[in-house]
């Protein structure tokens, strides 16, 4: 049975229920003590299991953690233990890696860790994570409503196809395409922001113009 064949009310109910399960880890659930690598992987697996596609999927392994450290996404452990700040970064990595390249995540994490890791600022990664967590919670309802609108749009498509089985398949295909196009556009925006504002050595759009304008004003004052 194709999923779009079931009643709208039932589908919306299932959709909302499933989306509510996909959340960030609550800040209060993250241990206040440092953890060994085995404890880190166990914690992540138990708290993110709702986002698994298949029950046997491994969300985080020792090899992954070592690679993150090797690629400078994650600061080295302290005495073979990972702090609460390491946990915040690992959770961000988990979500980012599904849509962004390692290079792009590096571009995001470099300023993040330089500014807010290990007491380098008036706020730390704890406060950063808590703020993002709160924003995600606030946006959940609007994300759910947007998904429902897309589903409704897909159900309205291909009404001109006479064969019922073909029409049902094409409605499902339409729903997948709508979602993929949405992800594509959002990913494009993210990559543009990273390229123009976070890549090392990149002059931000408008900066050159501002410099030229300032120089011109200075010359006019001298003359």
Domain extent for 190: 3-222
Round to whole Å and give the CA distance between 131 and 181. Answer: 28
pLDDT at 221: 47
pLDDT above 90 as % of the chain: 56
Q: Is 135 exposed, middle or buried (0-12, 13-18, 19+ CB in 10 A)?
A: exposed
pLDDT at residue 105 greater than cutoff 50: yes
Q: What is the mean pLDDT of residues 90-94?
A: 95
pLDDT at residue 135 greater than cutoff 80: yes
pLDDT at residue 5 greater than cutoff 60: no
For 80-89, write each residue's pLDDT tens digit.
999 999 999 9
Q: What is the mean pLDDT of residues 58-65?
A: 93
Structural domains counted in the chain: 1
- Among 15-29, 66-80, 164-178, where is mean pLDDT lowest? 15-29
Q: Which of 113, 74, 90, 3 is nearest to 41 (CA)?
A: 90
Q: What is the pTM of this model?
A: 0.82
Look-up: residue for tokens 């709702």?
A: 50
């Amino acid at each position: 049975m194709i999923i779009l064949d079931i009643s709208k009310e039932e589908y919306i109910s299932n959709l909302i229920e499933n989306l509510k399960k996909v959340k960030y880890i609550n800040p209060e659930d993250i241990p206040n003590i440092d953890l060994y690598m085995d404890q880190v992987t166990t914690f992540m697996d138990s708290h993110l299991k709702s986002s698994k596609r298949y029950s046997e999927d491994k969300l985080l392994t020792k090899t992954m953690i070592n690679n993150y450290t090797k690629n400078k996404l994650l600061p080295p452990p302290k005495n073979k233990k990972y702090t609460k700040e390491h946990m915040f970064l690992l959770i961000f990595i988990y979500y980012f890696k599904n849509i962004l390249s390692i290079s792009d995540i590096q571009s995001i994490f470099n300023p993040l860790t330089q500014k807010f890791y290990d007491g380098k600022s008036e706020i730390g990664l704890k406060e950063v994570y808590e703020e993002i967590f709160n924003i995600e919670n606030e946006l959940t309802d609007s994300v759910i409503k947007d998904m429902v609108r897309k589903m409704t749009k897909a159900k309205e498509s291909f009404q001109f196809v006479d064969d019922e089985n073909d029409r049902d398949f094409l409605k499902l295909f339409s729903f997948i395409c709508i979602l993929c196009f949405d992800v594509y556009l959002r990913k494009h925006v993210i990559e543009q922001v990273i390229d123009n504002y976070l890549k090392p050595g990149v002059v931000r759009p408008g900066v050159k113009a501002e410099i030229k304008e300032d120089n011109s004003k200075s010359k006019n004052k001298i003359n």
